[in-house]
A and B are shown apart, each in its own frame.
Chain A
Amino acid sequence: MIAADVVERVLHEALRRGGDLAEVFAEDRRSTAATLDDGRVEEVASSEERGAGIRVLCGETTGFAYTADLSERGLVEAARTASAVARGRTASVQEAPPGGSRPTPGAVRLPPEEVPTADKVALLRQADDAARASNASVVQVSASYGDARRRILVARSDGVFAEDDQVRTRLSVTCVAAGDSGMQTGFESVARTAGFEVFDERTAGDVAGQAARRAVAKLAARPAPSGMLPVILAAGSGGILFHEACGHGLEADHIVKDASVYAHKLGELVASPLVTLVDDGTMPGEWGASAIDDEGWPAQRNVLIERGVLTDYMWDLVRARREGRAPGGNGRRQSYRDLPMVRMTNTFITAGEGEPDDIIASTPYGVYVAKLGGGQVNTATGDFVFGTVEAYLVENGRVTEPLRDANLVGNGPEILRRVDAVAGDFATSPGTCGKDGQNVPVGCGQPTLRISGVTVGGTAGGEGAP
């Protein structure tokens, strides 16, 4: 993207006024998107973004500027702007190792840029047809396809020179079903760090069928109960809970500022011994996977909680430097226009040993969540909320009636201690994580598990017991 000698001169310029470390992050992102709504292909869009963000670190201060002009002149100008905060001693620019670091990107069998647009649009038609064919009460279908190829280059004055080539492909379908009780929506998506081969494993019709089924099931749904109840999360349905409930609180930017409920708790039992929580950017194909993070550090597997004991936090470059330790591959940014910060990659609870059916059978009354929607957490208090998009009542050890959408609220540390059954199955689901206005793709996962008590925010009266 940028020649090595140009990078070196830009790094020198960035450190001319002083500073400890300078970095050039260059990005070239090309994407295609197509949407279908109401039976029509409404739009096919393509976009190109190319530019570089330049950081100068000086003590605890970061200066940052970005430019879409990748010429030497444009980069030098951005370097000067970024260096406005710098003063004092100037670090030297170390030569990058020959050839730099070129981690092997994930294998992409069918690069989306080589797939005809007509084939991408055809997926939307398949989704529309499948959803409408699946049930007469499906009245609206919208489908969205997207692919992106993101090439990045990270070059730093400490000798780091790394590149990655990331390809992501997704399809999502939303159905609206209408019945006597009004309208209900159902959503399903497939999203992988991979090429168009994604649809060999999972067809558009399958994704659409799932979305339609969810919408239709809710037509007959009764209002969700309200009050504190046992909640069973089906495998892969609710990794978002752990992403929100504990993942964010384990990000080192909150930790070093003492702004997380998990600060000062390394080595302590913070969860049920059934809980092992891992963040792993290396999982092939997962939505949050990459070869390197956006600071040039290789993606890695980080065990955060092991059998209930807090073992580590997640680290980016700035926070790791401050603590005199190595980063953990968790420095990510939405684009070259954003500063990197500590972010999750693929975050999941590892599988246990029980049988999913046994967990249901041993629950007299509660809620079985087949799919969670989005969530949110206050990292300082640990209080979180997340919504159900497919949930059922559990009565006498059996999954019975579908429930209307409701939010669940709780407190992260409390919920972790209340995990009282973990099955041996496992599944993941993709998501988009927003933090400080930046969105990045992440994966979430868990086996089927039960939390002994979560506050369910339905509209039906009555406390826990039937």
Chain B
Amino acid sequence: MTRGLDDGSVDLGDVARRIAEMAAGPEQVEAYVARRRETAVRVYDGAVESLTSATSTGIGVRVVRDGRQGFASTGSLSAGGEAGAHAIGSALAAVLDAARTNAAFASPDDNGGIAEPDGVAPADLALWRDETVATPVADKIALAVDLDRRLRDADSRVRQVPSSDYGDVASEVAIATSAGIRAATRRTSCHLSASVLVGTGAETQSGTGFAVGRAPGDLDAEEAAQDALDRALRLLGARKGTSGEVTVVFDPRVTAVVLSVIAGALAGDVAVKGRSMFTGRLGESVAAGHVTLVDDPTDARAFSAASVDAEGMACRRNVLVDAGVLRGFVHDSRSGRMAGTGSSGSAVRGGYATTPGAGCRALVLRPATRGTGRGDGAPPGTGGIAGTGGSGRDEILAIVGEGLYVQSVTGVHSGANPVSGDFSVAAEGVRIAGGGFAEPVREVTIASTLQRMLASVLAIGSDIDWLPGIAAGQTVAIEGMRMSGR
């Protein structure tokens, strides 16, 4: 890569535009240029274990010719490392040529091609904070040291704090296409996270906690420390649960994980290929009547909020499930053409080295409670959908009465299948008795199908917490899951 790009002295939008303008004849060209600055601090026992700081830049180029798509990327813009406009120019030409060559081997696709501008204006979101880049490294280190210290001093049962991390990323992206798209976005994010081991006697339990924000000043170390500690201490004395059918209450972090799996089935490119449990079910009931699922990347509070998608289209609010009925999928330009709806501004990509696909960025459940009158804590006067305000963990535990509070799940990548809907994950948490926490439970699995889980949602909390990722965290209760343990 040339020093120019690293220094930020070369305008990313200019680089993207230069590539897009190299399009020859009827060929379509899309250039995605990204620059990323990162700081990562790991603290152990009060001292810095590692400190990483670096900037990287990369380019991904998509070429579509006669409906055939080719792609090439590079993170090394100048083979010899010499600076200068000439070197950049030849590097850009080389990556474009590679994409053209690759295109020749792909199958023609009537629906293929880059995004067509649709006139929707991008929302103006404040996702960048100069402070994230400007804060001295010493101050960032101090945040992680503070977190480590808080955890070590918090409780006599703390045995170890294996790592306390601070990390931030400042990223800038420019997209330009031969169809006339010129988009530029930038964002900052940072986090504090730690894991803690607590124990008594021969037993050890662990917990992780984190805080996220757009700038270091947003981060609350106490919140991260308390979260890690609560989760670990709560599990002390945990035993394997008994097998049987249970109502589960998902911790907000667990809900975010489950919603992310459901998001996979709501991706238009997956759905149009018949590879989603929701394929062919538009207009049908796919969830309980009080379940409404919205993907709204223009909500600036969402961690993955964005004004522009990975193809340069304006992001927008998409209602995917409305009152239990499947109303739509999220589409990139190709799946939108296949579905006949057009792009929903939902193209996502893993970085400059991958091509776009369709995906959610900010999936959230609208708060609601099913008015069954179940349990002492059911809100009064609920016939059908209850009021949307005020229900957090305590209220939902009260509604449920007896069940399992699931604090964390593992094995999701192997145990949750967005095609068949099969769902089986390892869980740990706390038994719910009398509408509150009873004894901790570990080494159990909870299983069902995603279809059945959506139909069996009992309550959706209004305690929305925008966790890192593509879905919101909120407390949710689901009836009739199979718990397997002793």
Contact = CB atoms under 8 A, between A and B. Distances in A.
A84 interface: yes
B29 to A, nearest CB: 15
Given A176-B274, A380-B206, A410 B443 contact: yes
B109 interface: yes
Given A51-B76, A380-B206, A409-B443, A43 B484 contact: no
A121 B104 CA distance: 11
B422 A65 contact: no
A258 B420 contact: no
A45 interface: yes
Contact of B56 (A185, A259, A337, A383): A337
A455 B445 contact: yes
A405 B415 contact: yes
Interface stretch (B65-73, B147-155, B322-330): B65-73
B415 A62 contact: no
Contacts of A70: 81
A48 B447 contact: no
Contacts of B410: 376, 378, 383-385
A47 B105 contact: no
Contacts of A78: 54
A45 B76 contact: no
Contact of A85 (B51, B80, B428): B51
B75 A381 contact: no
B9 interface: no
A404 interface: yes
Given A65-B53, A378-B410, A45 B160 contact: no
A374 interface: yes
Nearest to B43: A61
B3 interface: yes
Nearest to A414: B443
A459 interface: yes
A250 interface: no
A45 B159 contact: no
B105 to A, nearest CB: 5
Contact of B426 (A34, A40, A383): A383
Interface in A163-201: 176, 182-185
A320 to B, nearest CB: 16
Nearest to A59: B47
A74 interface: yes
B93 to A, nearest CB: 14
A314 B469 CA distance: 32
Interface in B42-75: 44, 47-54, 56-57, 69-75
B75 A41 contact: no
Contacts of B205: 380-381
Interface residues of B, number: 80
A62 B107 CA distance: 48
B106 interface: yes
Which of the listed residues A62, A64, A407, A455 has the most CB atoms from chain B within 10 Å of its own CB?
A: A407
A68 B447 contact: no
Interface in A42-81: 42-51, 60-71, 73-74, 78, 81
A124 to B, nearest CB: 10
A44 B103 contact: yes
Nearest to B95: A48
B424 A50 contact: no
Contacts of A117: 101-102, 105
Given A84-B53, A185-B417, A372-B414, 8 more contacts: A42-B109, A45-B355, A50-B76, A50-B79, A68-B1, A74-B6, A337-B54, A337-B56
Interface of A: 34, 37-51, 60-71, 73-74, 78, 81, 84-85, 117-118, 121, 139-140, 176, 182-185, 224, 226-228, 254, 257-259, 261, 337, 339, 372-376, 378, 380-381, 383-387, 389, 404-407, 409-411, 455-459, 461, 463
Interface of B: 1-3, 6, 44, 47-54, 56-57, 69-82, 98, 101-103, 105-107, 109, 137, 159-160, 162, 195, 197, 204-206, 240, 243, 273-275, 277, 353, 355, 410-411, 413-415, 417, 419-422, 424-426, 428, 442-449, 482, 484-486
